[in-house]
Structure 1
């Protein structure tokens, strides 16, 4: 784990947007896969002691991921992600909404834009999350998004180290 890697996390309430820039000591194809393949996402995206469980995922434009964050007690928080744009190994965009276990969506949602780049074996991921309402942004923050995301990224860093060593 490299401690000198970039990690910027900014919440801009007037713009209803979260901006995240994070570098990983791993090559771009591996980082891309960690963000776009359900079997890898489920290993890192939930902050411990929670876990992630993807019910189904179709990573293509118009496809979606339906998944739950599951507490140690079995409580489930469901969400739907619809992929709106994909440029392989460079960028993907999705629309995210909370939902119930039957995919009934809670609106409003948020637009996520992921950009990937690599320089000398360090992959940078830039994410912007635009929320359709300030209330939704505040709900994300209230639910522990900032701390949870930071914990999830630590999980990802460990996963990337493990997979890179194979």
Structure 2
């Protein structure tokens, strides 16, 4: 079935928009985005792992985690949740942090909003918008492997949703 994956880049406002459909009810997809144990199973490419995760899914709460790549690359990430509308939408500010979870507030940031919609056939549509405050970071995402990585992780999410 066509999953209607859409990836659009808007260079004028440093924004990346993605949408994708899933053959699962909205409650199940929402849980896959908001349960840290499920996130570990799909939110990074297959050859990467997530470790040392903290998770406080509340407005003002924080998620920190270490992404480890196949060559031993290590990226500490920090997300602060700014909006949560249970079951339909959440947004966050993302940035790098140190290994103690202290965010680099002077470094580049991304502002992400995830929206969830029930669609015909007990399916779900996701819309994700990422806005970047730094030109170089935006360019890296827009021209780098973000489209391929997003497609890969959404396919992994399909696998998680069918195994749950």
Taking structure 2 as the reference length, the TM-score comes to 0.91
The aligned runs of 1:1-166 (5 Å cut-off) are 2=1, 4-103=2-101, 104-105=103-104, 107-119=107-119, 120-141=121-142, 144-163=145-164
Number of equivalences = 161
Q: How far has the Cα of 1:8 moved from its partner?
A: 0.3
Runs of 4 or more, structure 1, over 3 Å off, are none
Q: Is the 8 A contact 2:3 2:20 kept in 1?
A: yes
Q: Is the 8 A contact 2:5 2:151 kept in 1?
A: no
CA–CA distance in structure 2, aligned partners of residues 133 and 116 of structure 1? 27
CA–CA distance in structure 2, aligned partners of residues 7 and 140 of structure 1? 17
Q: How far has the Cα of 1:125 moved from its partner?
A: 0.5
Structure 2 unaligned blocks of 5 or more: none
CA–CA distance in structure 2, aligned partners of residues 87 and 32 of structure 1? 11
CA–CA distance in structure 1, aligned partners of residues 41 and 161 of structure 2? 11
Please identify, of 140-149 and 28-37, the stretch whose mean Cα deviation from structure 2 is larger.
Answer: 140-149
Secondary structure of 1:81's counterpart equals: strand
Taking structure 1 as the reference length, the TM-score comes to 0.90
Q: How far has the Cα of 1:23 moved from its partner?
A: 0.5
CA–CA distance in structure 2, aligned partners of residues 54 and 129 of structure 1? 24
Q: 1:133 to 1:21 in 2, by over 3 A?
A: same
Structure 1 unaligned blocks of 5 or more: none
Cα root mean square deviation, aligned: 1.6
